[in-house]
Amino acid sequence: MIEARRLHILRAVADHRTVTAAAAALYLTPSAVSQQLTALEQETGHRLVERGARGVRLTPAGEILLRHTHVVLAQLERADAELAAYHSGAAGTVTVAAFATGIGLVVAPALARLAADAPGIRVRVQDAEGDASLPMVLDRRVDIAVAVEYRGAPGADDPRLTRVPLYAEPFDAVLPLGHELAGLPSLRALSELSHDTWIGPYPGNPCHDVVVLACEHAGFRPRLEHQSDDFRAVVALASAGAGVALVPRAALRDMDLGGVVVRPLDGAPTRRVFAAVRCGAEEHPLIRPVLSALDGAAAARGTAPAVR
């Protein structure tokens, strides 16, 4: 009989590619993870992983078991949801990881909705960059991620996750007041900024990928001389004449824009934001109201609707 907790460990190793990283995500020691993998191999009668200089990879037998693992763990999430519903599930704690703008735009308003509609549900919020929250859900460190699309992100068809689209927003061009294009009502093409100095997020931030890819599609690579993951800092640098930037529209709300002009861009790149839970957990009586509140908060703010 295969133990479900060992399937969790197998998936963590497949996700993180090393025993050490999987152990850290699961709050276990590397030796404990190795012991559980060995026990799982004994249970199945197959070698499941191969260790090499660059980490751990699954064998063909391990890949087969991983496909079944996604199904089994999703079904266990559904069983937990049904049992919680049977026990009423009217009170409890849900943890949400979200990036800063997402917290302000949809998470905080969702908490206000829940206080009125589901006062028994307590939500704990953790600030996490848009590319960090999905691994936190998969590693069971949080229940819900409010995340953005980024290069290398699990796809919409990933069997480990269920997504709820929340909103989509364009990136706007942020220019210093003295910029030669500041007087235009909009920018026709991103290539008009190809010779400028740029301000943008650090590599690894999902918005960094969006900006770089958009510029590459426009025929140039941006000269990023100033970097910050804080969009207020990005706008402050632009207002000082340090360069130009692309910033998600929602991030500019309630910000001091006195030293810059913000211009829409024809064919602007888009940031797509969604909530994600482990597959099967979407019907949990504590998680379902939070997902509904997030969706309602996004709709109430009038953000551009995501493609559903």
User: In which band, very low, low, confident or very high, does the pLDDT at 101 lie, cut at 50, 70 and 90?
Assistant: confident
Instruction: Sketch out the chain's domains with CATH numbers.
Output: 4-83 (1.10.10.10), 90-166+272-300 (3.40.190.10), 168-270 (3.40.190.10)
pLDDT at residue 86 in the model = 59
The reported pLDDT for the residue numbered 51 is: 83
Instruction: State the number of CA atoms in the 13 A half-sphere of 298 facing the CB.
Output: 23
* pLDDT of 306 strictly over 60: no
Has residue 197 got a pLDDT over 60?
yes
Beta strands in 99-136 (DSSP E): 121-127
Q: Give the C-alpha separation, 294 to 137, whole Å.
A: 16
Give burial (CB, 10 Å; 0-12/13-18/19+) of 42: exposed
Give the pLDDT confidence score for residue 243 in this predicted structure. Answer: 96
**Residue 208: is its pLDDT beyond 70?**
yes
Kind and range of the H or E element at 143? none
CA distance readout (Å), 194 to 191, 213, 224, 248: 5, 13, 11, 19
Longest dimension (CA), the chain: 71
Averaged pLDDT for residues 233-249: 96
State which amino acid sits at residue 253: R
Nearest in space to 201 (alpha carbons), one of 159, 233, 170: 233
pLDDT of residue 76: 85
Residue-level pLDDT at 45:
87
pLDDT band at residue 305 under the 50/70/90 scheme: very low
Considering the chain, what percentage of its residues have pLDDT values greater than 90? Answer: 50
Find the mean pLDDT for residues 14-39. Answer: 88
Whole-number Cα distances in Å, 165 to 78, 119, 147, 168:
21, 25, 10, 9
pLDDT at 131 over 90: no
pLDDT of residue 302: 64
pLDDT confidence band for 43 (50 / 70 / 90): confident
Give CA–CA dist 306/284, Å, rounded: 24
State pLDDT tens for residues 145-189. 999 887 778 888 899 999 999 999 899 999 999 999 999 999 999
Per residue in 58-88, pLDDT (tens digit) is 999 989 998 899 888 888 888 887 777 656 6
Least confident of 82-86, 89-93, 98-102: 82-86
pTM over 0.85: no
